[in-house]
Each structure stands twice: as structure tokens, then as C-alpha cells.
Amino acid sequence: MSKHFLFIFILFGGLSCRLSGAAHAQTVSFTPDPAALSGAAGSTLMLNVTLTNTTTGPLSLSDLWINGEQQPGDLPAWLSLDTNPFWNTFFGQPLGAVGTPSGTYVGSLFNAIIDASAPVGTTYEGTYTLFGGLDGGPDVYSSDLLGTQTFLVTVTAGTGPSAVPEPGSLALFLPGLTALGITVRRRKLQPGPSITYSSPGLQSEV
């Protein structure tokens, strides 16, 4: 067996073991909020998750895979995922042992972006997998499998976000305009300063 072939075999063998472990390894429990994502075409939906360590040792979080891939893939044309929330909130985050105050952490995993042309009633189901360090050490790039969870995105009737202010915003905005109008009106009605012009033999007051 050549060294080149042996390297490829080890590489793909390690990747296969990492992904196949998703079927049985679950060292963290997931509580998604909401349980299922739903929104109108053109919407951006955020998936928040409560992670709880179920082991007796500390954990660290290092990576998020979507549908078994490091980059979000295998998605329908009307759906895209933004995993920046994970890197901003979960990456490197330590989880204490089960039962400790630091054993639970709440954060955002990803944003689901529904295209404006998405047909109403369309549903997509995928998976997300978390990796990290089971030893709880300082190396946040550990790649132990922590757990896998499914997610659901459904396109509902309605319209996506618009630029129309919400009623609460209008309630705050209109009184401000009224106060500004009163101030401008008062300034216009206020008499100007009295100016006296003097010249030899002539004096007038404006």
C-alpha cells in the first residue's frame, strides 16, 4: 500500500468516524427556541439554543456543522443559513460539569434566511452538529463530537420585513414632530430686537 493511498484512507476514515459518531454520541442536550422556525418569504429567523452539559467533566465548544458539512450545504434554493451567531456566542464557550451553574449556556446558533420567492407551505428539515473538547482544556479547536440535533424551517403566509414603522415607533415619533413644530412657530412669532439708527439731525427706531 503506497503512502499516498494510506494517507487518503486515514483521512477519510477519521472523517467517517467523526460523522458516524453523531448517531450515538450526545454529550450535550439541546433545547431550541423556538422548537421549529417559521416565517414569511423574505424573513430572517434566528435559532436560539440552550445547551446543557450531560457529562461529569467540563466541555468547550469549537465548531458547528450543518447537514454533516463544515459549511452550510445541501440546502434548497429558497433557504440559506448564516452561522456567524455561533462564532459570536458559542465558539470557545466553556460548559461546566452537569449540575453546575456553568453547565448550561444560552446563545444563538444560526440565522435562517428565507428567500423572497419561497413558496408558502414549503418545509425543510436539516441537522446541526456541535464539536468541542471533552477534556475542557484550553484548546478550543478540539474536535470531539458533542451532539446532533434536527431543525425545521417552514414558509408561512404573509410578507417579510418592511420599512413601515411599527405602531410603537410612530407613537414616539409623532409627539416629537409636534414639539418641533411648536418650537419653530414660537421662534417665528417672537419680535425681533429693537435697533436704533442715529445720524446728525435724524433719529429713528425700528
The domain locations on the chain are: 3-155, 167-205
Q: Which of 34-38, 76-80, 166-170 has the lowest mean pLDDT?
A: 166-170
Q: What is the structure's pLDDT at 6?
A: 37
**Whole-structure pTM value:** 0.64
Q: What is the structure's pLDDT at 93?
A: 83
- pLDDT, average across residues 22-38: 80
The per-residue pLDDT for range 152-178, each reduced to its tens digit, is 999 999 876 543 344 444 444 455 555
Q: Is the pLDDT of residue 135 over 70?
A: no
Distance of CA 10 to the CA centre of its chain: 36
Q: What is the structure's pLDDT at 47?
A: 95
Which one has a higher pLDDT value, 69 or 14? 69
Q: What is the structure's pLDDT at 184?
A: 46
Distance CA 24, CA 163 (A): 46
Q: Which of 6-20, 63-77, 101-115, 146-160 has the lowest mean pLDDT?
A: 6-20
- pLDDT, average across residues 59-82: 90
Which one has a higher pLDDT value, 44 or 62? 44
Which own/partner pairs from 30-39 qualify as long-range (CB within 8 Å, at least 24 positions apart)? 30/147, 30/149, 32/149, 32/151, 36/151, 36/152, 36/153, 36/154, 37/112, 37/151, 37/152, 37/153, 37/154, 38/153, 38/154, 38/155, 38/156, 39/112, 39/114, 39/155, 39/156, 39/160
Q: Span 3-155: which CATH code?
A: 2.60.40.10
Position 94 confidence tier, pLDDT thresholds 50, 70, 90? confident
Q: What is the structure's pLDDT at 58?
A: 87
Q: Is the pLDDT of residue 146 over 80?
A: yes
For the chain, percent of residues with pLDDT exceeding 90 = 44
